[in-house]
Structure 1
Amino acid sequence: MTVDEAAGAADDRLRSLYAATRDLMSATTRAELCRVVVDVSERVLGYPLTGVHLRGDDGHGLVPMAYPPAVRDRFEGEPPTYAPGDEVYEVYEREEPLRLGAVADRQSAAHRGIVVPIPDHGVLIAGTDPPEEPDDARLDFVETLGEHAAVALDGLERESRLNGLHETTRELMEARDSAAVAASATNTAHEVLDLRLNAVYLRTSDGDRLVPVSVTSETRELYGEVPDITPGSVGWTVYDTAEQRVVPDVRRSAAVDDPPPAVRSLLVMPLGDHGVFLAGDERPGRFDESDVALAQLFADTVEAALDRAEREALVRRREGQLARQNERLDEFASVVSHDLRNPLNVAQGRLELLDDDCDSPHIARMETAHERMGELIEDLLALARTGRSVGDTEPVSLERTVVDVWRTVDGGGSLSVADDVGYVDADASRLRELLENLVRNAVDHAGDDVTVTVGRIGGVDRSGFYVADDGPGIPPERRETVFERGHTTADDGTGFGLAIVAEIADAHGWSVRATDADDGGARFEVVVADTAE
């Protein structure tokens, strides 16, 4: 072939390659797009042994997505998945092409060919049979095809993530409290945005730190005990200034103190007055403009959901307070009507009759006394309209609270707290009071050697936590009455402990019930959210 002929063939390939770009950009799924890439490599560029391998869902390994029958025949089945450490995987990591040499025992789609990166997604392997050494021009064509495939895959992922964010917006907006919003947010970031290392931090009521209310399991594996965010850190700066921060490589940034060894990229998005969303990745430069734009849209949605949850929590507290006040008012009004107003009305009627029968200076004083009694009754009714309610709520660690409570309890028993008890939106001091009464109730009824267990309850319809013991338990017929004021079976009991538990739960809008523990003791379940309502 002459130089002019070779140049003409190269021009034809280039025109065909760019014409095929339309097919790439119109593909609606990853599988369809990968099949187009293989077809172009085989039909336009002349590589019958072609394979597209993309990053797997777990983020580790390049999975075969598309290849022609000739490749299946070569491997006598499906081509391999390339794991970290393999030279093909290094093409994906380094984004540098690789020429494959003729190695007889090599597990490759082509014994002689090229591997080019599909940036951020995987690799394209191209070879011929019989083996040919690719020239620089053909290598450029394959690299161009890989770059076009990356652009098309970026578009598909962006569209998929936008659709995913749209679908999960309702879930975020329906979350009952800030802890539920945080849990939904970390799950959405993991599943939709492919951010395996992420966490939602929310501020405490005193405002001196941000606590990790929800984190992914991968983040826990990396950090162990996930630390709080305190002033001076990059996360606190984002919270304080309400300005997002992208750190391409934490190892080269003075803003990140003591980063985890495996984390290279860091993305921190503000969540208004609530806290921050934080995401990391093992690769440097992981977050491009598209990632940041999607993360900003996501963070705005999470912030709106937190605003809504906070408003609705306030409304629920006020509605609960009003309902309890009305109940007290109704109860007191009943007592006043039957035990005070009726006799007072009788006395006033008799006094009018007496005034008709005789003229005495004492009658006026008696009328004044009756009027005063009426005023006192009205004042008492007004007093009944007030009541106790919880203060400001915040994400409170159940584990830390119950461990602190246990230190104040006399006895030689033991405490067991499940790893996943997490946080609950509560008035911290009232929650501590609730747990103190439950723990002391266990010690009072099960003895000093009691074992108290604290864990999380959850399911489709409800979520919350429980406190259980290995004592004698509570008979079924008494499980409702144990929360009544004055009810006790202990010789030195006051009968107010469990009543206080019920009042504190009710003040938060929660419910509490007594049931059996797994080993036969008593178990008190505090239901924080009941989605079946």
Structure 2
Amino acid sequence: MSAETPEEVAQRGIQAVSNILGLPISTVFFEQEGTLEPVESSETANELFDEISTLKPGESAAWQAYKSGQPMRVADITQLETIQNPQTPITAEMIIPLSEYGVLIIGDTEGGEFDDEDYTLAQILGDNISTSLERVDREQRLRAREQELSEQNDRLEMFTSVVSHDLRNPLSVAEGYTELAQQEAGELKALEKVEQALKRMDSLIDELLTLAQQGESIDEKEPISVERVAAEAWETAETKQATLNITEDGRFGGDRNRIQQLLENLFRNAVEHGGESVTVTVGAIDGNGFYVEDDGSGIPEDKRDDIFEHGYTTSEDGTGFGLTIVDKIAEAHNGTISVLEGRNGGARFEIRELDTVV
């Protein structure tokens, strides 16, 4: 009951089969993506088999026991209708379901059926393993929720910090120049400064509200075309005289609106740092991602780890949140983002490990 991971539970369960029940051949299988995968075996089982195979649906009695939730005791496995390995040295088996998590298989090479005491004790042990796996699963989900809440608190603290400090600067500028305009009637240049400061405040507020949402997990995903979402993002982003070049279409699963926000921010970043006539290239990567590349001045290698930090910018007009939003959207999709040098010397952003679309 003190085990902290499913693998540790399986390991201690196998030890109990050997040390307490006195049965040397056993393996715990966990259900993973529609198959039963071996996760822990006894020393004797590892010596007996060069490799313990994955158990596939319909190809073994273990699947029947796992799906039905009913333990099985087999005196002669050659008499089974489904046997995955006809050449196995195992002659008798006990198959103990471990709730929805998998099965415990205990084998024997000597022939003859396991007795009632072995069968009863194996089922009791299986119940204990199942209970421990349920506890570990619950604790892991609780830790994941605590981590999510911690990240939400971090974003809230970031939001509060920026609102209380960064927004005060342009507000002070606006107030000061407004007062100057009032004192010197007809001084329109002062009012232009007010307009610039207020626009910056508006940008900061918009991006902060967006950023506050981007770390949230994605519940529903849909098939997304790289070509289509890039074209839509290009229409909504301020791209000025820049040129978009889409080299290869691809598909992946994700939240369309948030992927479009990600692309809009990358496009604006390219124009902001590469100039109004920059060329931006978008294409698919390996069937589970895409890249955005420009032919601008690029990003120095020693700065590439800093650009996703909130507030980091090299532009006087930048808010420093655009690439932070990009990073948070990729993270919410369980994807990875990396920054490389482009083929023409600019910056290349690669977003990988997104959900594939069959």
Query: Structure 1-normalised TM-score?
Result: 0.36
Equivalence for 1:345: 171
The structural deviation recorded for 1:216 is 0.8
Cα distance, 1:346 vs. partner?
1.0
Counterpart of 1:377 in structure 2 is 204
Alignment of 1:24-43 (within 5 A): none
Alpha carbon RMSD of aligned pairs, Å? 3.9
Equivalent positions of 1:8-27 (< 5 A) are none
Q: Structure 1 residues 367 and 273 mapped into 2: Cα distance closer, same or farther (>3 Å)?
A: farther
1:43-82 equivalences under 5 Å are none
Residue 189 of structure 1 and its aligned partner are, at CA, apart by 2.0
Aligned match for 2:18, one of 190, 193, 202: 190
Alignment of 1:193-204 (within 5 A): 193-204=21-32
How far 1:341 sits from its partner (Å)? 1.6
Count, aligned residues:
225
In structure 1, the partner of 2:56 is 230
Structure 1 match to 2:66: 239
Which residue is equivalent to 1:115? none
Cα offset, 1:225, TM superposition: 0.4
Instruction: Please tell me whether residue 317 in structure 1 is matched to residue 144 in structure 2.
Output: yes
Aligned to 2:7: 179
Q: Which deviations, in whole Å up to 9, do the C-alpha atoms of 1:410-459 show, x marking residues without a partner?
A: xxxxxxxxxxxxxxxxxxxxxxxxxxxxxxxxxxxxxxxxxxxxxxxxxx
Report the Cα distance in structure 2 between the residues aligned to 1:258 and 1:278, rounded to whole angstroms: 14
Is the partner of 2:121 in helix, strand or coil? helix
Change (3 A) 1:259 1:227: same
Structure 1 gaps, min length 5: 1-169, 392-481, 488-499, 508-533
Tell me, in whole angstroms, the C-alpha distance in 1 between the residues paired with 2:145 and 2:197: 36
State the Cα distance separating 1:348 from its structure 2 match. Answer: 3.5
Structural mapping, 1:128-277, within 5 Å: 170=1, 174-204=2-32, 206-207=33-34, 209-232=35-58, 233-259=60-86, 261-277=88-104
Match of 1:299 in 2: 126
- Partner of residue 485 from structure 1, selected from 305, 313, 330: 305
**CA offsets per residue over residues 204-223 of structure 1, 9 Å max, x none?**
2x32x111011111111112
Whole-angstrom distance in 2 between the partners of 1:332 and 1:371: 19
Greater alpha carbon shift after TM alignment, 285-294 vs 354-363: 354-363
Counterpart CA distance in 2 for 1:242 and 1:360 is 85
Measured in 1, the distance between the counterparts of 2:61 and 2:113 equals: 18
Aligned AA for 2:167?
R
- Gap change, CA 1:343 and 1:313, over 3 Å in 2: same
Amino acid of the structure 1 residue aligned with 2:57: P
Look at both structures and tell me which one has the larger radius of gyration over its CA atoms.
1
CA distance in 1, matches of 2:70, 2:198: 65
Q: What is the distance in 2 between the residues matched to 1:382 and 1:196?
A: 60
1:342-491 correspondence to structure 2 within 5 Å: 342-351=168-177, 353-354=179-180, 357=183, 373-385=200-212, 386-387=214-215, 485=305
C-alpha distance in 1 between matches for 2:39 and 2:94:
18
Once the two structures are superposed, residues 208-262 of structure 1 have per-residue CA deviations (whole angstroms, 9 ceiling, x without a partner) of x111011111111112100111112111111122221110122343443435654
Q: Note closer, same or farther for the CA distance 1:271–1:216 as it changes in structure 2 (3 Å cut).
A: same
| SS in structure 2 of the partner of residue 190 of structure 1 | helix
CA spacing shift, 1:185–1:343, aligned 2, 3 Å: same
SS at match of 2:167: helix
- Which amino acid letter does the alignment assign opposite residue 183 of structure 1? Q
TM-score of the pair, normalised by structure 2: 0.52
CA deviations 1:172-219 (Å, max 9, x no partner) are xx3222222222221222222222111111112x32x11101111111
Q: Residue 200 of structure 1 aligns to which amino acid in structure 2?
A: V
Instruction: Say if 1:261 and 1:349 are closer, same or farther in 2 by CA, change over 3 A.
Output: closer
Q: 5+ residue gaps in structure 2?
A: 220-301, 308-326, 335-358
CA distance in 2 between partners of 1:277 and 1:320 (Å): 32
**Is the CA contact (8 Å cut-off) linking 2:76 and 2:92 kept in structure 1?**
yes
The answer to whether the 8 Å contact 2:74/2:113 transfers is no
Counterparts in 2 of 1:253 and 1:355: CA distance versus 1, 3 Å: same
How far apart, in 2, do the equivalents of 1:368 and 1:308 lie?
58
Return closer, same or farther for 1:292/1:229 CA change in 2, 3 Å cut-off: same
Which residue of 2 is the match for residue 278 of structure 1?
105
Q: What is the CA–CA distance in structure 2 between the aligned matches of 1:390 and 1:178, rounded to whole Å? A: 26
